[in-house]
Amino acid sequence: MNDQITPTTGKTPKPLNAPVIPTGDDLFHEIMGPIEPDLLLAEAEREAKYVGESEAEHTARVARYADAITEYKKQYEEKQIVQSSDIRSFGNNLLHDFESQDSVKESLELDLLASQIAKL
C-alpha cells in the first residue's frame, strides 16, 4: 500500500499511524508519577525513605497514598476511553483506506474492460 501510486491522485498514499499502546508499567509511571512519586518506588525503598516517621506521619502518608490511588484510577479510566477511541478511529480509517483502494481498482478494471469492448 505504501509503495503504490494511486491512479486518481498520482501520489503515494500516506501510511496510517497506529496508536501507541504503552505497556502497563509505562502507563502506571506516566499517570502515577505526577500524582504521587513515592508510589513509583519499590516498597523497600519507600520504607527506607520514611524510617523514623511518627505514627501520625505514617497515617497521613497512607491516606495520601489512598487518595493518589483513587486519582490514578480516575485518570486511568480517562486514558482508556481516549485510547479505545484512538484504536477505533485507526481501525475505521484503515478499513476506509482499503475500501477506497478496492473502489479505485474496480473502477480501473471496469474502464479497461469498457475500452476492450469498445475495440471489438
In a domain? residue 83: yes
Question: What pLDDT, on a 0 to 100 scale, did the predictor assign at position 4?
Answer: 45
Residue 86 included in any domain:
yes
Rounded to two decimals, the pTM is 0.64
Locate all alpha helices (DSSP H) within the chain, ordered by sequence: 24-35, 43-49, 55-118
Most confident of 14-18, 74-78, 100-104, 107-111: 74-78
Rounded distance, CA 16 to CA 100, Å?
Answer: 14
29: pLDDT strictly greater than 60? yes
The pLDDT confidence band at residue 5, using thresholds 50, 70 and 90, is: very low
Q: Is residue 15 part of a domain?
A: no
* Residue among 81, 75, 63 nearest 33 (CA): 75
Quote the distance between the C-alpha of residue 85 and its chain's center. 9
Structural domain range at position 62: 24-92
In this prediction, residue 40 carries a pLDDT of 97
Burial (CB count within 10 angstroms: exposed 0-12, middle 13-18, buried 19+), residue 19: middle
All 3 cell numbers of residue 105? 481498482
How many domains in the chain?
Answer: 1
